[in-house]
């Protein structure tokens, strides 16, 4: 085994362990802030796995999109509504946990079976390395054009939806309840700090 | 930085090849020789980055003093040149305090997460054709994606301090960083479109040929301004230093930090400033290019361009030019800091989303149109 391949193997073991343990931590930790930070770690480890596969552009995109945008937004949301409140006791919590654990174990077994029974083409196609950026661009503008455009329309819909939800003042009545929109809350007339001279 | 680099130059041009040749001559295997080479450029660049910060701190002290008609540091070494070292030593000896109700683990991890991506980004900064750690194909995109990790560290620090000012500072930093990353990336995209490559070396090579006239700043004046504004915002320099606005937030996410952890934030922000200035130089000011075409100057002296001495001299000039351009920009950044007032948070977000983003999009569109119309000038 050469130095390069052994380094690669060690990196692979380390990154896979980080992904698996980190993902378990995201689900199992009671503190949601820790879960969110661990999620960032999992995304970074996945980017490391892409790097091991010689897909450096995909790795950089993974870091930019998932760590830089998605995870930061999740953290942002958590910290803006960071209320320390104790959850109400849910009836049959143990049974629910057992059931969801069972579903997860079943899914895991199914995926394991797929992984072991599929005849994988080994070794796979030769990685194209730095050429990947050009190849991805060609695919996005030819055979993946429709999915790409559909994804952008989906994002646009989500964005418009977020604006409608956040800016209720553009409507005279509330979308959800039908009551008149709470204009007073948005533009509350405040008492002036300096009283104007009337005379 | 100038101090750290001559060792790289004096050994020749393709240093890696000559270094591994020497080691193989001493009976080492090629793999072992390569392994011994690998840490050297990393160490040199790390030292260069830290020395760059020391220079930066001294410049900041002296220039701010000059702006305010003071003398500034003068007793520590000639012209106070050892003052940054004294600052660093002071921070080193300070007690490392973790507030009682803070989250110790995240509190420690925050500054580290802020510093590491910034230092990693030095991977793609070229000082010459072969004088960079690694000419990775994703090049400048690597820097953009790495700089997006930083807000997580800031949020972590702000949250773990268990202090409302820290949390507000962290949230502001994240909001600011997200808003200005988009126009920044669009400005870079216009440059990348002209050079047909993400690699920083290719971007500089596309700007050589006619000396100062072929630099990207003439072809991308709008992009240059957008990039510089966004880079200042990403570095949290005045007029965009809202995350640590003293009058409102004490010191933002740094409020609870002391000793070396505080120093890590400090180091991170200054390394980031130097890095941004270097990247402006690479993207818009011709990187290591001399204002006159090097081939023309060499022809005047009558020497062949690939003579060893000429190679060493051009490589040295390249490093000096890169550093000179970067520190000129750093000078402007410092001057700006001590001249202009801070913007408000709503002005900051308005500027980012309602002005810079549309302008950057138009700039991209115009660049694409010009590239189609004049492929000879805008990279066919």
Question: For residue B237, what pLDDT band results from cuts at 50, 70 and 90?
Answer: confident
Q: Is the Cβ pair A37, B106 closer than 8 Å? A: yes
Q: Is the Cβ pair B152, A57 closer than 8 Å? A: no
Q: Which two tokens stand for residue B199?
A: 């690699």
DSSP string, A71-110: IHHHHHHHHHT----PPPPPTTHHHHHHHHHHHHHHHHHH
CA-derived radius of gyration, chain B = 22
What angle in degrees, to the nearest 10, is found between the helix axes of A3-28 and B30-37? 50
Provide the residue count of chain B: 380
The confidence score (pLDDT) of residue B226 equals 92
**How far is CA B125 from its chain centroid?**
8
Question: For residue B90, what pLDDT band results from cuts at 50, 70 and 90?
Answer: confident
Residue with tokens 């070794």: A123
Which chain B residue lies closest to A56 (C-alpha atoms)? Answer: B138
Provide the residue count of chain A: 199
- Structure confidence by residue, pLDDT tens digits, B148-175: 888 888 888 888 888 888 888 888 888 8
**Which is more confidently placed, B62 or B241?**
B62
- Structure confidence by residue, pLDDT tens digits, B295-335: 777 777 777 777 777 777 888 888 888 899 999 999 999 99
pTM here is 0.82
How confident is the prediction for chain A on average, in pLDDT?
A: 81
Instruction: Report the residue from A56, A72, A73 with minimal CB separation from B136.
Output: A56
Residue A176 C-alpha, separation from nearest chain B C-alpha, in angstroms: 28
Q: Residue A190: enclosing H or E segment and its boundaries?
A: none
Interface size, chain A vs chain B, as Cβ–Cβ contacts under 8 Å: 77
Q: Which two tokens stand for residue B88?
A: 């660093």
The confidence score (pLDDT) of residue B8 equals 40
A80 lies within 8 A of chain B by CB: yes
Residue with tokens 């104790």: A86
What residue spans of B235-344 are helical by DSSP H?
Answer: 246-249, 259-284, 294-301, 308-337
How confident is the prediction for chain B on average, in pLDDT?
A: 83
Cα separation of A120 and A53, whole Å?
16
**How far is CA B104 from its chain centroid?**
30
The confidence score (pLDDT) of residue B3 equals 35
- Structure confidence by residue, pLDDT tens digits, B335-379: 988 888 888 888 888 888 889 999 999 999 998 888 888 887 777
Q: Write down the ipTM of this complex.
A: 0.81
Cα separation of A26 and A65, whole Å?
19
Q: What dihedral do alpha carbons A127, A128, A129, A132 form, nearest 10°?
A: -120
Share of chain B above pLDDT 70, in %: 95
Q: Is the Cβ pair B31, A3 closer than 8 Å? A: yes
Cα separation of A160 and A181, whole Å?
19
Q: Which two tokens stand for residue B117?
A: 């991506």
Instruction: Report the residue from B137, B149, B155 with minimal CB separation from A79.
Output: B155
Cα separation of A152 and B117, whole Å?
29
Which chain B residue lies closest to A39 (C-alpha atoms)? Answer: B152
């Amino acid at each position: 085994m050469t130095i390069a391949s052994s380094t690669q193997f060690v990196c692979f073991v380390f990154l896979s362990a980080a992904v698996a343990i980190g993902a378990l931590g995201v689900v199992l930790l009671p503190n949601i802030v820790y879960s969110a930070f661990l999620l960032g770690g999992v995304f970074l480890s996945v980017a490391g796995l892409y790097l091991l596969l010689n897909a450096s552009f995909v790795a950089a995109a993974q870091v930019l999109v998932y760590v830089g945008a998605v995870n930061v937004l999740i953290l942002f949301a958590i910290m803006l509504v960071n209320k320390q409140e104790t959850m109400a006791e849910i009836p049959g919590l143990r049974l629910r946990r057992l059931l969801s654990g069972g579903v997860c174990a079943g899914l895991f077994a199914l995926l394991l079976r797929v992984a072991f029974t599929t005849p994988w083409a080994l070794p796979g196609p030769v990685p194209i390395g730095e050429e990947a950026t050009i190849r991805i661009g060609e695919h996005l503008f030819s055979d993946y054009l429709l999915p790409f455009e559909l994804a952008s329309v989906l994002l646009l819909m989500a964005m418009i939806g977020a604006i409608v939800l956040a800016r209720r003042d553009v409507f005279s009545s509330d979308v959800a309840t039908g009551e008149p929109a709470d204009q007073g809350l948005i533009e509350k007339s405040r008492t002036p700090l300096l009283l104007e001279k009337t005379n | 930085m100038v101090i750290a680099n001559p060792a790289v130059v004096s050994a020749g041009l393709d240093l890696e090849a000559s270094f591994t040749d020497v080691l193989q001559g001493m009976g080492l295997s090629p793999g072992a020789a390569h392994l011994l080479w690998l840490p050297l450029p990393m160490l040199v660049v790390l030292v260069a980055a830290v020395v760059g910060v020391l220079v930066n701190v001294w410049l900041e002290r002296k220039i701010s003093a000059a702006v305010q008609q003071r003398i500034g540091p003068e007793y520590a070494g000639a012209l106070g040149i050892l003052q940054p070292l004294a600052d660093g030593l002071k921070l080193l000896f300070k007690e490392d305090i973790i507030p009682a109700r803070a989250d110790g683990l995240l509190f420690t991890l925050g500054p580290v997460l802020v510093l590491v991506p910034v230092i990693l980004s030095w991977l793609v900064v070229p000082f010459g054709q072969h004088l960079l750690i690694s000419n990775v194909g994703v090049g400048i995109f690597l820097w953009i994606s790495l700089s997006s990790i930083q807000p997580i560290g800031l949020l972590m620090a702000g949250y773990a301090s268990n202090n409302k000012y820290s949390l507000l500072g962290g949230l502001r930093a994240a909001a600011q960083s997200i808003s200005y990353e988009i126009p920044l990336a669009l400005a870079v995209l216009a440059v990348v479109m002209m050079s047909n490559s993400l690699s920083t070396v290719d971007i500089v090579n596309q700007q050589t040929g006619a000396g100062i006239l072929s630099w990207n700043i003439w072809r991308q004046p709008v992009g240059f301004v957008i990039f510089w504004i966004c880079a200042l915002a990403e570095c949290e320099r005045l007029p965009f230093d809202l995350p640590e606005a003293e009058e409102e937030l004490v010191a933002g996410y740094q409020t609870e930090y002391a000793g070396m952890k505080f120093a890590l934030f400090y180091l991170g922000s200054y390394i980031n400033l130097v890095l941004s200035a270097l990247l402006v130089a690479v993207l818009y000011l011709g990187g290591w290019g001399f204002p006159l075409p090097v081939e023309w100057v060499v022809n005047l002296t009558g020497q062949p361009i690939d003579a060893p001495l000429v190679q060493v001299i051009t490589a040295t000039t390249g490093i000096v030019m890169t550093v000179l351009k970067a520190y000129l920009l750093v000078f402007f950044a410092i001057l700006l800091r001590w001249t202009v007032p801070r913007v408000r948070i709503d002005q900051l977000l308005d500027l980012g989303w309602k002005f810079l983003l549309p302008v950057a999009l138009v700039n991209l569109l115009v660049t694409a149109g010009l590239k189609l119309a004049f492929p000879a000038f805008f990279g066919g």
